[in-house]
Amino acid sequence: MDINGIQKLTLLDFPGRTACTVFLSGCDLRCPFCHNSELWGAAPAVMDDAELISFLEKRRGLLEGVAFTGGEALLRPELPELMNQIKALDFAVKLDTNGTHPERLEALIEAGLLDYAAMDVKNDLERYPLTCGKEDMDTEAIERSVGILLRGRVPYEFRTTVVKPFHDEASFTGIARMIEGAENYFLQPFADRDTVLYKGFEAPTKEEMERYLEIVKPHVKHAQIRGM
């Protein structure tokens, strides 16, 4: 299996663990403010799965976990077997997902292959298609993935990248309803990069972020702003 990017050490991507972050190409959404648009389709490989395992074998005792992100990592049918190999080396495994493949998320949890899951919640359900760049998007899969994580069988977080003009107070009223009772929820302000294909997006002000946080706080156990 092709690996399309690797950050060899992160203290941020996997809560409570030193980890590496593995990037896999392919995504079924087209969020116009995406930081990783170069991973939407086919992307050059930096290594294959065998080389990743070799890298990890040399870092046993130095790293504690592996975080898979994308793109959308759940598009890769080979992912469970690779996670199995990584777990056999005594590394913890984290998954970042957009929630479009609830059946695959459920299968990983059932198989005991996940130690942490992070799901991007793009917006309230009504504005999901616009926010994700998919006009014909069916949000039922998103609701199912939220429900799977809310059962609490694996530690998890929900998170929203907050960006003008897609988000306002109504967005977070809807999101709060969607993730009612969640363990962890993070709001992170949009930051422009060269890899964002479309221009004209802005981060909310600090005051706006704090107002959005107050809307959500009564509905989840732990909520905070990340990256501001």
CATH number at residue 149: 3.20.20.70
pLDDT at 10: 95
Token pair in block for residue 159: 């998170």
Pairing state between β 47-48 and 2-3: antiparallel
Q: Which domain holds residue 189?
A: 2-225
Under the banding of pLDDT at 50, 70 and 90, the label for residue 112 is: very high
**Total of domains in the chain:** 1
pLDDT at 1: 93
pLDDT at 38 over 90: no
Q: In the predicted model, what is the mean pLDDT of the chain?
A: 95
pLDDT at 98 over 80: yes
Q: How far apart are CA 97 and CA 101, in angstroms?
A: 9
What is the DSSP secondary structure assignment for residue 32, as one 8-state letter?
A: T
Q: How far apart are the first and last CA of the chain?
A: 36
pLDDT at 39: 84
Count of positions (residues) in the chain? 228
pLDDT at 77 over 90: yes
Average pLDDT over residues 22-26: 97
